[in-house]
């Protein structure tokens, strides 16, 4: 028993997470512990299910009003919903989650490959970037579904480059984005853009913006890291 918890603690200690203040210690650690347990049990496709090329994890985050903006508070605000390895397992989660268009407030769904945190600081993301599409209200649910189905079905054809996708519900618009590993790889980013146009059925004049995560970090000083706002 003791060993198990020690092992989990060790896993937590590294990376970018500063040690929480004493007063906050209890809760975050518990969350992390749970998340690690989820991570350790690698999900596998059940019998008769259709395997996916990669395992994925659903995450949810919501801005807590009045909280200071920092990487640390972001990590504490983001919740793992669950991981899946097959088409059927995906639908089980998806069907039990609210559509993004029905979310209230300032919140996001993230769908990332298992093992990649939906954070700029993750090793898989730190050299990467994202395509951003701003949507008027009413389109997010459908666009998000088309986007993640294309990602799960490997429609982007960019090898290992895709990291995950995000839908961000904001006051006057919603934003969907897809993250890839190597922002400097122009043939990859061009191919992702073209696939997005195809799978989202966007009109030719839709504005799509590519943003590197290093730029996002640079221009987001003092802002919440996941807001998606420029």
Partner 1 sequence: MSTDCRKTSATAIPSSRRVNIDNADHIPHDYSTTPGGTLFSTTPGGTRIIYDRKFLLECRSSPLARTPPRGLPPIPGVTSPASKEPNEKTINGEVENKHSITAPDMSNTGDEAQFEMDI
Strands (E), 4-152: 51-62, 78-86, 107-113, 129-136
Distance in Å, CB of 146 to partner 1, minimum = 7
- Which residues of the shown chain bind partner 1 in the complex (CB under 8 A)? 38, 46, 48-53, 60, 63, 65, 79-82, 84, 87-93, 95-98, 103-107, 134-137, 139, 142, 146, 149-150, 152-155, 157, 159, 171-173, 191, 194, 197-199, 201-207
How far is 54 from 114, CA to CA, in rounded Å?
8
Residue number with CB closer to partner 1 (72 or 77)? 77
**CA Rg value for the chain:** 18
Distance in Å, CB of 174 to partner 1, minimum = 9
Strand order in the sheet with 51-62: 78-86, 51-62, 107-113, 162-169, 173-180, 129-136, 208-212
Looking only at the bridges linking them, the beta strands covering 51-62 and 78-86 are: antiparallel
Residue number with CB closer to partner 1 (120 or 195)? 195
Residue number with CB closer to partner 1 (120 or 162)? 162
- 140-152 vs 186-200: helix crossing angle, rounded to 10: 130
Residue number with CB closer to partner 1 (80 or 220)? 80
Distance in Å, CB of 203 to partner 1, minimum = 4
Residue number with CB closer to partner 1 (2 or 187)? 187
Distance in Å, CB of 67 to partner 1, minimum = 11
The H or E element that residue 180 is part of is: strand 173-180
Distance in Å, CB of 22 to partner 1, minimum = 26
């Amino acid at each position: 028993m003791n060993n198990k918890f020690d092992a989990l603690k060790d896993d937590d200690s590294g990376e970018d997470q500063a040690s929480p203040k004493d007063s906050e210690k209890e809760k975050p650690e518990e969350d992390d512990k749970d998340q690690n347990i989820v991570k350790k049990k690698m999900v596998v496709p059940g019998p008769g299910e259709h395997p996916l090329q990669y395992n994925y994890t659903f995450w949810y985050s919501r801005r807590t009003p009045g909280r200071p903006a920092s990487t640390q508070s972001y990590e504490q605000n983001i919740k793992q919903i669950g991981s899946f390895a097959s088409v059927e397992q995906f639908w089980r989660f998806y069907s039990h989650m609210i559509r993004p268009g029905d979310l209230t407030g300032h919140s996001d769904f993230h769908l990332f490959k298992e093992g990649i945190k939906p954070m700029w600081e993750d090793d898989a993301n730190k050299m990467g970037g994202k395509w951003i599409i701003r949507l008027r209200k009413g389109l997010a649910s459908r666009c998000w579904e088309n986007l993640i189905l294309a990602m799960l079905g490997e429609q982007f054809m960019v090898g290992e480059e895709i990291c995950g996708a995000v839908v961000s519900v904001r006051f006057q618009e919603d934003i969907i984005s897809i993250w890839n590993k190597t922002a400097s790889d122009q043939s990859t980013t061009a191919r992702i853009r073209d696939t997005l146009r195809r799978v989202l059925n966007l009109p030719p004049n839709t504005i799509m913006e590519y943003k590197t995560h290093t730029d996002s970090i640079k221009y987001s000083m003092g802002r919440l890291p996941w807001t998606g706002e420029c």
